[in-house]
Amino acid sequence: MSPDHRALYDAFRSGDRRFDGVFYVGVTSTGIYCRPICTARTPRAANCRFFPSAAGAEQAGFRPCLRCRPELAPGSAPVDRGELIAQRLADRIGEFGIESGGGLERVAAELDLSTRQLRRIVRRELGVSPIELVLTRRLLLAKQLLTETSLSVSEIAYASGFASLRRFNDAFRGRYGLPPTQLRRAASAPAAGGSSPELLTLRLDYRPPYDWTGILGFLRARALRGVESVTAEAYRRTVSLGGHTGWIQVRHAPAKSALLVDLATSLTPVLPALLGRLRNLFDLGARPDLIADTLGADQLLAGAIAKNPGLRVPGAFDGFELALRAILGQQVTVKAAAVLAGRLAEAFGTPVETPHAELSRAAPTPERIAVAKSEEIAALGIIRTRARCMIVLATEVAAGRLRLEPGARPDDVMPRLLALPGIGPWTAHYIAMRALRWPDAFPKEDVAVRKRLGGVSAGVAEARSQAWRPWRSYATLHLWQSLPDAVSSGTPAGGR
């Protein structure tokens, strides 16, 4: 047995949730592949094969375990270039079709690659082709819907991205060796709460520990009035995605190490993209063990890490929405920025009907802000220079010249942001941290960060942060939370 095989087998045998989603185990004696947290009897080491992805295990001929359900495994937080490219393609699967080649060409163009280079990178990182990755993602989502909801098989086929029921049935039978209806009969009662004609409930797993209270507190202070609502137990928001509108609610299920997502069935046609956005918003792919190992080695952060090893960096449901909020947060308190953002949503957002009185509008779109007059925005109490900045930003995003989404390259996006009038380094890093999901962003100009480091200059703060790479975004959140006045203290001189 090789050292790598032994280490992976020991991790599998331990059942430690920190390894969940890091690798998958194919058991040659059964033809089934599992998550490393599976509660089934542990097979002999000689019968185990290890894969970095579910797609790799399925390509090798293994079927997903019905007990541990590989489709629920959290993803890995991407750090290096190859992983980012592969993850970018995986994230985009839910937003457009790949089979025709158009989607693949679009992702390749966004990354300044040829489609041949993209295929080669995905093959190297995940062990499968882009088409195989698409098929695995769609089948795993379909399997989750069959198990957790009462949607019809036809509805599930389209919700998981298949163009027809026949293609879905053929793919499902070919990959798993049984028809979808047989899997549904074999499954127990819906595990995540079932569904109704108006509501679905699905489960999204994470690697514990998870600071649910902390992430809700962060989002509550910055909630966009009319669009978002945060209570002590749940996060709610309106959704307008791909021409479909509705609302979602996210709750915590700590006993399952998961979040439960309640969503209006009107959003079923955009389910893959919606779930991807929620995984990014709640940072469900984080590796708290690796982050704590790196940051905990620094004496300044060791106490914060020990106190809160489950800290997450909140992402963004929509990158443009987050960027507007970041511009409004320059040199004002968090509370003041939230008030201005609420006025902006009321004036430029689209009305949405929901069963929750506090959720009444969809967030303003780039297209709407791009055609607004600076005088209209300034009339809301927003400084005219920031109004112009938001219009220029919206114009760039609407035209496709600026992509504020996970997987976009920070070294491409941040210079474009800095070239816009009214956006400085702090704002660019904050957008990279949350909208791009870049784990190594570091707003060295932040007053609260420099205060926590002993009142040092931005240059000294930058040098001090090198030991925290590649997790400086998480270090920044720890520094913010370690100050009692973090919410009301400054960006370069104001709020976050």
The model's confidence at residue 488, banded by pLDDT at 50, 70 and 90, is very low
Question: From CA 460, how far away is CA 116, in angstroms rounded?
Answer: 43
Give the model confidence (pLDDT) of 182-205 as tens digits: 988 776 545 545 556 678 999 999
Name the CATH superfamily housing domain 3-71: DNA Methylphosphotriester Repair Domain (3.40.10.10)
Total length of the chain:
496
| Mean pLDDT computed over 128-137 | 84
The model's confidence at residue 240, banded by pLDDT at 50, 70 and 90, is very high
The pLDDT of residue 489: 35
Q: Does 100 or 247 have the greater pLDDT score? A: 247
Q: Are 285 and 74 in contact (CB under 8 A)?
A: yes
Instruction: Determine whether 34 is an active site residue.
Output: yes
The pLDDT of residue 17: 79
Q: Which 3-state string (H, E, C) describes 57-72?
A: HHHCCCEECCCCCHHH
Question: From CA 393, how far away is CA 94, in angstroms rounded?
Answer: 25
The model's confidence at residue 491, banded by pLDDT at 50, 70 and 90, is very low
Token couple for 261: 């997502």
Q: Does 236 or 122 have the greater pLDDT score? A: 236
Containing 137, the helix (H) or strand (E) segment is helix 130-148
Choose the most confident range, by mean pLDDT, from 82-96, 114-128, 257-271, 406-420.
Answer: 257-271
pLDDT at 465 over 80: yes
Give the model confidence (pLDDT) of 28-41 as tens digits: 999 999 999 999 99
Note the Cα 5 to chain centre separation in Å. Answer: 30
The pLDDT of residue 116: 87
| Mean pLDDT computed over 213-226 | 96
Question: At residue 338, what is the residue type?
Answer: A
Token couple for 231: 């209570």
Nearest one of 158, 157, 160, 159 to 169, comparing CA atoms: 157
The pLDDT of residue 485: 54
The three-point CA angle 12-16-19 to 5° equals 70
Q: Are 265 and 236 in contact (CB under 8 A)?
A: no
Question: At residue 42, what is the residue type?
Answer: T
Question: From CA 363, how far away is CA 230, in angstroms rounded?
Answer: 16
Question: From CA 478, how far away is CA 431, in angstroms rounded?
Answer: 18
Residues 6+ apart with CB under 8 A from 151: 145, 159, 195, 200, 268
The model's confidence at residue 132, banded by pLDDT at 50, 70 and 90, is confident
Q: Are 357 and 386 in contact (CB under 8 A)?
A: no
Question: From CA 429, how far away is CA 436, in angstroms rounded?
Answer: 10
The model's confidence at residue 92, banded by pLDDT at 50, 70 and 90, is low
- Strand stretches in 5-141, DSSP E: 24-27, 32-34, 48-51, 63-64
Q: Is the peptide bond before 406 cis (omega within 30 degrees of 0)?
A: no
Least confident stretch, 16-25, 190-199, 410-419, 485-494:
485-494
| Mean pLDDT computed over 85-93 | 65
The model's confidence at residue 120, banded by pLDDT at 50, 70 and 90, is confident
pLDDT at 88 over 60: yes
Which 8-state DSSP code applies to residue 40? S
The pLDDT of residue 95: 56
Nearest one of 388, 476, 378 to 433, comparing CA atoms: 476
What's the Cα-to-Cα distance from 250 to each of 89, 216, 320, 396, rounded to whole Å? 25, 10, 21, 31
Question: At residue 86, what is the residue type?
Answer: A
Topology (CATH) of 202-285+314-438: Endonuclease III; domain 1 (1.10.340)
Burial class of residue 466 in the structure, from the number of CB atoms within 10 Å of its CB (0-12 exposed, 13-18 middle, 19+ buried):
exposed
Q: What is the CATH number of domain 81-148+151-186?
A: 1.10.10.60
Question: From CA 253, how far away is CA 477, in angstroms rounded?
Answer: 24
Which 8-state DSSP code applies to residue 156? H
Q: Does 353 or 107 have the greater pLDDT score? A: 353
Give the model confidence (pLDDT) of 254-291 as tens digits: 999 999 999 999 999 999 889 999 999 999 989 898 89
pLDDT at 460 over 80: yes
Average pLDDT, the chain: 88
pLDDT at 100 over 50: no
Containing 132, the helix (H) or strand (E) segment is helix 130-148
| Mean pLDDT computed over 140-145 | 92
pLDDT at 421 over 60: yes
Domain parsing of the chain, residue ranges:
3-71, 81-148+151-186, 202-285+314-438
| Mean pLDDT computed over 451-471 | 93
Residue that is written with structure tokens 């060295």 in the block: 444
The pLDDT of residue 230: 98
- Strand stretches in 254-389, DSSP E: 258-264, 350-351, 361-362
Which 8-state DSSP code applies to residue 286? -
Q: Does 226 or 493 have the greater pLDDT score? A: 226
Token couple for 53: 């992805």
Question: Among residues 4, 10, 34, 389, which one is catalytic?
Answer: 34
Question: Among residues 20, 205, 211, 446, which one is catalytic?
Answer: 446
The pLDDT of residue 341: 97
Choose the most confident range, by mean pLDDT, from 129-143, 342-356, 476-490.
Answer: 342-356
DSSP 422-455: T--HHHHHHHHHHTS--TT---TT-HHHHHHTTS
Question: From CA 50, how far away is CA 23, in angstroms rounded?
Answer: 7
Containing 322, the helix (H) or strand (E) segment is helix 319-328
| Mean pLDDT computed over 358-363 | 97
The pLDDT of residue 495: 43
By percentage, how much of the chain surpasses pLDDT 90? 68
Instruction: Determine whether 446 is an active site residue.
Output: yes
The model's confidence at residue 10, banded by pLDDT at 50, 70 and 90, is confident
The pLDDT of residue 130: 82
pTM for this model (two decimals) = 0.85
The pLDDT of residue 40: 92
Give the Cβ contact number of residue 244 at 10 Å.
16
What's the Cα-to-Cα distance from 42 to each of 26, 48, 61, 166, rounded to whole Å? 12, 10, 20, 37
Beta bridge partners of 27: 32, 48
